[in-house]
Structure 1
């Protein structure tokens, strides 16, 4: 847990000595702690993409229909997004290290179950349990990181490395999934996750110290039920809308139920003695507008990757491997951005970097409109790679914006909000915009329509976040 600098009394009329600050360089133990926490985040990010290219092979092997395959993704997304806030708060109250280790164990066991699955039901159960483990790992890992590394250069650097590895996890998963499926079969993609989780679970108990809120109020059960139910319903509706359309009865029903439950959650929190979400925290401009920036950057980038995958393979007729190379370059550029991010944020501030990153991401996505129907792979590689650098800048800066100034005892809640925003953003982009690419008649026209909307939303969001955060010190 980050140690506050000790205060000292001084005689009247004397100038107090400046408080000691944490050195920018990390100790050997701090580097190992960071390695463990980042490995866990990388593993969860990898899980989002490593299975995608294996789905057709997996479906044939287990006898899953095309409509059933989308549940391989939805079964993970539902619990991983729906339970984040709940587990972030439980970790604040009962111990972040304890919950983190539990999440790793659940995720690892679920990966083994998915690897050995002998029918679709067992496989989907494994995926759902993976999502549940991820819902524990992500907020507890992030809160352990922010309470271990104090605000300033150390936290900037730690979050920069974490954000870089998270971005690389998505990219590496796309490339590695294809290689593993072609050489060892689809089960190896799930087996890899089990191996990584086991390695982290062995190292973590030796390095991590317990961290919790010293005051343990009662858990807000009504708040937990309404927010978890609302998020589950909302994620289900948006995840299935891409397959069934927004006019389908169960999509409409769950969407309405999700909105109603989230509205009920807000009402419950205004009266709760120990609310799951502190409404005064949500009123902080840094928390509110920082999460808006995070929601936009994740949803818009996931949409671009989706439509570019269609463009590269269906319009330019590139192979899966060649498409993977395009996104591999994106991963390299993200790594470069991650190496520079902490220094840039340290110089200009997280809020300013967030606004510039959203604007830069939007402008370079607009540059993708120069691609054509006969060629455009190099242009797509260039523009998506540079836009991904701004995307990573937005990821790191929005996390710092939201968590800066939040007391250690509420870091689990703050990081739960950050990671919930991330998961919801990854879920809503494709149903809201990505489906336009496949419903315009001509795929290339649909791709261009999505890119125009994507870029416009990012540019407008940059302006709104700039105004929302303001130039004055936010409270």
Structure 2
């Protein structure tokens, strides 16, 4: 890498780390935050849901806007918004004030994540350098998610939950101060008009989908509002698909979704993000409700995932060059599935902690290898003016997967006996593993066989 490329990489990785930490940092601190600000017990989950709704619902739209107005501009505005929203959350004195901050953080995340990834892809030519950069980016995303859980426990126990917000402010300020001197936007921009009807339909559909899944996860599979929201989501997303096929300049050209590499790559991305994040949720319930660990101890148990993620991100680019994207993704998902499935053996004593840590470590290697392959497949073989679209789709897949994964597993565990029950958690773990294994088989059968996607144009 040149010095300029290295500076771009460091800056964008810092922003991605901050955003992924944001997603998980409050998870272990939700009861403390709720008690501090007077949230009703039934409404505490909205601290996480408000963020997830906006992060998932608006990512594709903001990614496409970057193709029109410039990714660097969207990136800078998003980082400024993130800093301001984090400051508001850190000084919040009421539930309404905190939820406003979480909505703003979600919107900032929806703007920054696709912009940062597209700036990264256009800064590195297709080939080993881009693979290495995407590998490091995947490590940062996974370790950021894990670090958020650890940091949330540390800050809550030793200082205050408010520092879970305030820690973002200096990082955002530093990134905004440096970015104009480091980042260079491509002059190759989309010149057609933005597809407003398509943007409204897909954003509304995604918001309804995430909201409905969250309601079903909280209130049960028979919740009327949750089922109604899922129905609305289906109607809006089907209408979006039909509208895009008839629009002269669609928000998402449907031909890009027919490319098997991108289609199956996004299937793999959804599976690995949805079911790894939901595994973290299930294991948190196991560690705290079954074994009786506190927030800090629970966070420290997840460090093994971070260590595995570093190894997975380091070896994945070499595996892609040697064995191809398809094999790397399929094997990575298979490792994630097997190490998850073995966790059905865990019992009610702390003597199982070493086993949980070992499976988390090995599983994270496969998880991040699959992420790197997903990112390579989802962003390669496209002109610069479509990178915002490609990265927007990839980040939408990631955000929607994380937002849906926990409600899905929560619904399974609740239906099997409740999240406090070891038997119900075993059922959720088994379902998790089976779904990841199905995704691995789909990728192995459906993704094109190529030693390196980066040496060929996409089908």
User: What TM-score do you get using the length of structure 1 for normalisation?
Assistant: 0.92
Q: Which shifted more, 315-324 or 56-65?
A: 315-324
**Is 2:366 the counterpart of 1:390?**
yes
Which of 273, 281, 289 is the matching residue for 1:306? 281
How much does 1:436 deviate? 2.4
Match of 1:437 in 2: 413
Contact 2:221 2:411 (8 Å CA) reproduced: no
How much does 1:212 deviate? 5.0
Match of 1:36 in 2: 11
Contact 1:357 1:393 (8 Å CA) reproduced: yes
How much does 1:421 deviate? 0.5
**Is 2:186 the counterpart of 1:211?**
yes
- Residues 401-442 of structure 1: CA distance to partner in whole angstroms, max 9, x if unpaired? 111111111011001110111011111122222332244337
Contact 1:281 1:287 (8 Å CA) reproduced: yes
**Is 2:436 the counterpart of 1:458?**
yes
Question: Using the alignment, how far apart are the partners of 2:187 and 2:304 within structure 1?
Answer: 40
**Is 2:386 the counterpart of 1:400?**
no
Which of 396, 403, 408 is the matching residue for 1:420? 396
Q: Secondary structure at the match of 1:376?
A: helix
How much does 1:228 deviate? 0.6
Match of 1:55 in 2: 30
Note the aligned Cα RMSD (angstroms): 1.4
Question: Using the alignment, how far apart are the partners of 1:424 and 1:280 within structure 2?
Answer: 22
**Is 2:44 the counterpart of 1:81?**
no
How much does 1:386 deviate? 0.6
Question: Using the alignment, how far apart are the partners of 2:37 and 2:67 within structure 1?
Answer: 40
How much does 1:351 deviate? 2.0
Q: Which runs of 4+ in 1 moved over 6 A?
A: none
Task: Give the total of aligned pairs.
Answer: 450
Match of 1:177 in 2: 152
Q: Secondary structure at the match of 1:210?
A: coil
Q: Secondary structure at the match of 2:120?
A: helix
**Is 2:249 the counterpart of 1:274?**
yes
Question: Using the alignment, how far apart are the partners of 2:30 and 2:309 within structure 1?
Answer: 26
Question: Using the alignment, how far apart are the partners of 2:139 and 2:33 within structure 1?
Answer: 30
How much does 1:369 deviate? 2.2
**Is 2:43 the counterpart of 1:65?**
no
Contact 2:220 2:415 (8 Å CA) reproduced: no
Q: Secondary structure at the match of 2:167?
A: helix
How much does 1:150 deviate? 0.9
Match of 1:376 in 2: 352
User: What TM-score do you get using the length of structure 2 for normalisation?
Assistant: 0.95
Match of 2:270 in 1: 295
Match of 1:194 in 2: 169
Question: Using the alignment, how far apart are the partners of 2:214 and 2:168 within structure 1?
Answer: 23
Contact 1:93 1:212 (8 Å CA) reproduced: no
Contact 2:75 2:116 (8 Å CA) reproduced: yes
Contact 1:97 1:211 (8 Å CA) reproduced: no
**Is 2:446 the counterpart of 1:471?**
no
Question: Using the alignment, how far apart are the partners of 2:53 and 2:288 within structure 1?
Answer: 29
Contact 2:34 2:41 (8 Å CA) reproduced: yes
Question: Using the alignment, how far apart are the partners of 2:138 and 2:130 within structure 1?
Answer: 12
How much does 1:61 deviate? 1.6
Alpha-carbon distance change, 438 to 212 in structure 1, aligned in 2, over 3 angstroms? farther
Question: Using the alignment, how far apart are the partners of 2:191 and 2:139 within structure 1?
Answer: 34
Contact 1:96 1:212 (8 Å CA) reproduced: no
Matches within 5 A, 1:57-136: 57-136=32-111
Q: Which shifted more, 433-442 or 396-405?
A: 433-442
Which of 234, 237, 258 is the matching residue for 1:283? 258
Question: Using the alignment, how far apart are the partners of 2:187 and 2:343 within structure 1?
Answer: 46
Question: Using the alignment, how far apart are the partners of 2:35 and 2:122 within structure 1?
Answer: 46
Structure with higher Rg: it is 1
